Amino acid sequence: MADPRAKKLAKIIVDYSVKIKKGDLIELNFGVGAKELALEVYKEILRKGAYPIVHAGVPGFSYAYYKNASDAQLKHFPQLAMYEAKKAAGSINIGGDYNTKELTRINPKKIALRNKVTKKVSDVYIKKNNWIICKFPTHSLAQDAEMSLEEMEDFVYDACLVDWKKQSKKQDKLKKKLDKANEVRITGEKTDISFSIKGRQGIKCDGHRNMPDGEVFIAPVENSTEGYIKYTYPAIYRGREVSGVFLRFHKGKVVEAKAEKGEKFLKEMIKTDKGSSKLGEFGIGLNYNIKEFIKQILFDEKIGGTIHLALGMAYPEGGGKNKSAVHWDMIKDLRRGGKMFLDGKLIQKEGKFNFKL
């Protein structure tokens, strides 16, 4: 019997997060470890009178692909995936990781090459603006977070089962401040970085794109970033963990990149394309039900009192223009002596705003 919390989350995803209408084709992608939630979502889609297109991910297949695929196969454009992307009215993606480190030893150049090829497909979904990404609590997530499975289940559901309409109203207050501002400055341990957001619009993340959600983000002006930042937590991308990341920027671009672990991979990703060395996103974590880092960016970037600065692609919502096959979120915890300024005025100190959300 399904956990009643899975049924409740499925209804939130289908009734609130994704705008599903009768007759819609809805893509449902999930790892087999997330079958419990995926099945409840599947039922809700059918109750809407929509038509689910189901793709179940099986452990080992991604590894086998990157391990054995030739350059020709990596460069091959997925025409069927593009056809489906164009036809589908929405997309629901539920991660059910069996092994979060499956791709750790794969050559990062292979992953970067494939990302370039599939970017056009991803862009179709982004433009439709009707998709959501979710994570289901599995043993592998629990192990990475050093939790029991029961603790991980409580962690995930506490983060997701909130009143998103109420949260949306709270996010309005921060969005208004960002929309009026010209410059952001972040300071903290080994960090003093600034960038322009003039003319850009803040985007609320209130349960329509990620689950859990809980942030407001904005795209930095592409050539404006100056200064340096030492990220607090390991930056994880495509199953590769890079810790102790330090980046220095000049005229918008990374001019120095260091890491205590995984530096080679970091530098490879920064070189992916013209946009991968620039910031595509500045996000402010607002989900105060998430209090600790668990090595899953979907949760970690939402931690209340943190910010994240992503290398690569900017979402076109709100005026972002940076284009890249990479979008790599990296987190700075401002609860540890950090400060956030808008146009020279302090608005947050040690993770706490000086105004009420």
Asked if 326 and 115 touch (Cβ cutoff 8 Å), the reply is yes
What is the spatial distance between Cα 189 and Cα 192, in angstroms, rounded to a whole number? 8
Total count of domains within the chain: 2
Strand partners, 211: 134
Q: 150: domain CATH number?
A: 3.40.1830.10
What is the spatial distance between Cα 282 and Cα 102, in angstroms, rounded to a whole number? 29
Whether residue 151 is found in the same domain as residue 271: no
What is the spatial distance between Cα 226 and Cα 130, in angstroms, rounded to a whole number? 34
Whether residue 108 is found in the same domain as residue 229: no
Q: How many CB atoms lie within 10 A of CB 258?
A: 13
Whether residue 190 is found in the same domain as residue 305: yes
Whether residue 128 is found in the same domain as residue 215: no
Whether residue 192 is found in the same domain as residue 54: no
State the pLDDT confidence band at 100, using cuts at 50, 70 and 90: confident
Of 105, 140, 160, the domain-final residue: 160
Asked if 314 and 219 touch (Cβ cutoff 8 Å), the reply is yes
Region 290-296 average pLDDT:
92
Whether residue 76 is found in the same domain as residue 224: no
What is the spatial distance between Cα 60 and Cα 65, in angstroms, rounded to a whole number? 9
What is the spatial distance between Cα 134 and Cα 159, in angstroms, rounded to a whole number? 11
pTM of the model: 0.85
Whether residue 109 is found in the same domain as residue 137: yes
State the pLDDT confidence band at 318, using cuts at 50, 70 and 90: confident
Region 285-300 average pLDDT:
94
Q: Which residues contact 234 (CB under 8 A, 6 or more apart)?
A: 241, 242, 243, 261, 295
Asked if 29 and 81 touch (Cβ cutoff 8 Å), the reply is no
Whether residue 143 is found in the same domain as residue 210: no
Instruction: State percent of the chain over pLDDT 70.
Output: 100
Whether residue 193 is found in the same domain as residue 340: yes
Name the percent of the chain in helix, strand, coil, to the closest 5: 35, 30, 35
Q: What is the CA radius of gyration of the chain?
A: 20
Residue 239 has pLDDT above 80, yes or no: no
Q: Is the dihedral of CA 316, 253, 117, 96 positive or negative?
A: negative
Region 246-274 average pLDDT:
96
Whether residue 194 is found in the same domain as residue 244: yes
Of 109, 130, 160, the domain-final residue: 160
Domain of residue 59 covers: 4-160
What is the spatial distance between Cα 150 and Cα 155, in angstroms, rounded to a whole number? 9
